[in-house]
A and B are shown apart, each in its own frame.
Chain A
Amino acid sequence: MTNDIQEREITRYLISKKLNQALLSEIKDHFILQISDLIDADKMNFQEAFLQTKLNWQHELEMVKADALSFRRIARIEKDVLQRRFRNITFTSLLSSFLLSGLLLVVSDLFFYLQMLLLGVMTCLLAYSFIFKKMKFRDYIQLSFHPLIIRNLILYGILFSLVYYFFNKFNFADLLIAKVFMIYTGITNIQLLYYNSRKINVLI
């Protein structure tokens, strides 16, 4: 069994690993049970059991770069979950933008309305996040440097260069691929804001 002071020490250690609230409470419970077992079964004292548990979790709780395009450091266990979430966001954005690109071929005016819709949804989510204190201004600034946004900007640069190189065309925005890309970026932003408003960690 562990006492309150010991549990606070465990919490402090896990907080230093910058885990999100849900993961922190789950791992804290695991730590307490594992330490209690070591104390009871192996007759260790708290410090020995805590050290042993920290060693068992060393790899998963090691601080690593959150993403190749981010300077933020998070625990490896958090990174695994986060990267899977990023893959889901990218997949959803890709799928929806390709489906919508089919519609753009049929209805040419649709792009304007789609842009308005995406902008409207983004504004609503931002307003909701600020009103209900799900986001601070600092987080909003951080969103501009989000790895997925930076990745999209790099992709946009590559696409623009390719179009200019092959078609010698400056008016990139008129091309269907540019429109699809803009929809893709909009859907990515919306998903990031949505997850953030639900307090799900997406590195904002």
Chain B
Amino acid sequence: MYGYQITQRAKELTQGELEMTEGALYPLLHKLEDEGIIKSEIQKIKGRDRKYYLLTEKGLQQQVVQETEMKNYLLNLSTIFNI
């Protein structure tokens, strides 16, 4: 996915609830790239460069861990509030 696509996808998935600040996205993407969690490749689209970001092996592992943590957190919250 490329930068603009990520902002649009986040908006679409959350039905407009999560509106990412465009400018805040790029420093974050570059940080993740430096940490080896994502990698990028540049493709020429309509005569201009477009930078695509992809998860690395390390990033995929991190995703599984983060997802589990988030699910547990949400489960705990729901347990607390259901009581």
Contacts and interface: CB of A to CB of B under 8 A. Distances in A.
A binds B: yes
A158 B3 CA distance: 44
A28 B51 CA distance: 11
A60 interface: yes
Interface in A135-181: none
Contact of A30 (B22, B27, B30, B34): B22
Interface residues of B, number: 17
- Interface of B (DSSP majority class): helix
A60 B20 CA distance: 13
A160 to B, nearest CB: 35
Interface in A52-103: 56-57, 59-61, 76-77, 80-81, 84, 88
B57 to A, nearest CB: 22
A28 B48 CA distance: 9
Contacts of B48: 7, 25, 28-29, 32
Interface in B31-45: 31, 34, 45
Nearest to A80: B27
A81 B4 contact: no
- Interface of A (DSSP majority class): helix
Q: How large is the interface on A (under 10, 10 to 19, 20 to 34, 35 or more residues)?
A: 20 to 34
Interface string B1-42: 011100000000000000001111011001100100000000
Contacts of A59: 21, 23
Contacts of A30: 3-4, 22
A34 B4 contact: yes
Contacts of B49: 25-26, 29
Contacts of B31: 84
Interface of B: 2-4, 21-24, 26-27, 30-31, 34, 45, 48-51
For the complex of A and B, list the 10 residue pairs with the smallest distance between their C-beta atoms, beginning with the closest: A60-B23, A80-B27, A33-B4, A25-B49, A30-B4, A26-B51, A77-B23, A30-B3, A29-B50, A57-B23
